[in-house]
Amino acid sequence: MKIDSRKKIRHVSGENIVLMPAAGTADMTQVVALNESALELYNMLKEREFTFDDVVKAMLDTYEVDEATARADAEKWVGQMREQRLIID
């Protein structure tokens, strides 16, 4: 997996948003907001290819959670990132 580098994060009015490019321009009808945790993981992983286990490890290293919680949260994060087309397989 890899974060789609064509998508750019902007901080607007206290929100971290991802603008989805459409034909070379920003299409403001397609905006994804990331909470602080999602943004932190996004930033940790954006420069490299990663696996599901890398996401779990990042959660375990960053947050005080057990492995079962990290795996469940990683599954949700990866699923939502895929749904929003922010991850390329």
CATH number for position 11:
1.10.10
Q: Report pLDDT digits (tens) over 27-61.
A: 555 778 999 999 999 999 998 999 999 999 999 99
Confidence grade of residue 89 (pLDDT, cut at 50, 70, 90): confident
Q: What is the pLDDT of residue 12?
A: 87
Which amino acid is it at 63? Answer: Y
Position with higher pLDDT, 25 vs 60: 60
Shortest CA distance to 57 belongs to which of 72, 70, 69, 68? Answer: 70
Domain count, the chain: 1
pLDDT confidence of residue 5: 85
Q: Which structural domain range is residue 59 located in?
A: 2-88
